[in-house]
Amino acid sequence: MGDYSKDDFLQLVKRFGAFLTVKISNLLHTLDSRSVGAIAGLAVAIVFTWRVWRSPSAPQRRIPKRQGATPSSSGVSNHSSANAATSGVISTSEDSNAQNVIDEFFQPVKPTLGQIVRQRLSEGRKVTCRLLGVILEETSPEELQQQATVRSSVLEVLLEITKFCDLYLMERVLDDESEKKVLLALENAGVFTSGGLVKDKVLFCSTENGRTSFVRQLEPDWHIDTNPEITFQLARFIKYQLHVSPTKPERTAINVFNSITFEQFFGNV
């Protein structure tokens, strides 16, 4: 069969098919059913062989030829590599800038002094506070007879408290001159002008028990004092107290009863 071409073979198959057709038509009248079945099977086999022969062979894979690197192509390759490297550097730089923007955006926001004061005072709306040792540099009524000095370190916090709290300042004094010195010091510090404090809310008494009575009558949310006896007496009546004592900065569990400096208490959260 190898001596014949594909066309010759097809012609041979066609002639053989025509010959079989004639023979089958002549024999149909004389042969039995078995003979007819055999001839039909032979015809099917021939048709199947012909279809297989006509089916195209599987396409061969073409192997690309390797081209030698010419000077010009080498230059183009180097230029492309340089562009890719530059693009990579630019992309890295852009990613770094984008990450910096994201990090800056999601940085925790530092609370303002007003927010710190509100948080420390637990949103309390009324506050009573002793003057000596807390707002003033002086620590005894005898010193007030000489002078009254507002502590610069607490002034900013004091003004912030007056913005949203009903603040009352109180102190025991020995004479009227001491009262005038205290009021003048507060006025010079700008407490009455910059804040919400008025002179009528600066209370004076002649005994420590008098200060205790003032606090109980006002019923504040917070009371700030330096005398541990008064804070202990008021523990049953005042929800929150701050005991200011520079020599004992520790915490005591009595209605959020703190022994700490004024500055430390209102420091950063």
Q: Is residue 157 part of a domain?
A: yes
Residue 191 placed within a domain = yes
Helices (H) then strands (E): counts for the chain = 11, 7
Cβ contacts of 174 within 8 Å, gap of 6 or more: 141, 142, 144, 145, 206
Q: Is residue 222 part of a domain?
A: yes
pLDDT in tens, the chain (269 residues): 444 466 776 777 677 777 767 666 666 555 555 666 666 677 666 766 666 566 555 445 555 555 544 444 555 455 555 555 555 555 667 667 767 766 665 566 777 877 887 788 777 789 999 999 999 999 999 999 999 999 988 888 888 888 888 999 999 999 999 999 999 999 999 999 876 789 999 999 999 999 999 999 999 999 999 998 998 899 889 988 888 875 544 444 344 444 566 666 676 43
Structure tokens at 203: 């209370």
Q: What is the pLDDT of residue 174?
A: 95
- The answer to whether residue 37 is domain-embedded is no
Tell whether 178 is covered by a domain.
Answer: yes
Contact indicator for 167, 161 with CB cutoff of 8 Å: yes
Q: Is the separation of the CB atoms in 222 and 240 below 8 Å? A: yes
pTM for the whole structure: 0.55
Count the neighbouring beta carbons within 10 Å of the beta carbon of residue 49. Answer: 11
**82 belongs to a structural domain:** no
Q: How far apart are CA 116 and CA 111, in angstroms?
A: 6
Q: Within a 10 A sphere around the Cβ of 44, how many other Cβ atoms?
A: 10
- Give a yes or no: residue 253 inside a domain: yes
Give the span between the Cα atoms of 223 and 235, in whole angstroms.
10
Task: Say what the pLDDT of residue 170 is.
Answer: 96
How many C-beta atoms lie closer than 10 Å to residue 143's C-beta? Answer: 15
For 136, phi and psi rounded to 5 degrees? -105, 150
Question: What is the total count of domains within the chain?
Answer: 1
pLDDT at residue 248 in the model: 46
Assigned domain for 84 exists: no
CATH number reported for the structural domain that contains residue 137 in this entry: 3.40.50.1000
Q: What span, in angstroms and rounded, lies between the C-alpha atoms of 167 and 215? A: 11
Print the domain residue range for 155: 113-266
Question: What order of strands is seen across the sheet that includes strand 257-260?
Answer: 202-205, 166-172, 126-130, 222-225, 240-244, 257-260, 250-252
Radius of gyration of the chain (CA): 52
Q: What is the pLDDT of residue 268?
A: 46
Q: How far is CA 188 from the centre of its chain?
A: 45
CA nearest neighbour of 199 among 168, 230, 236, 243: 168
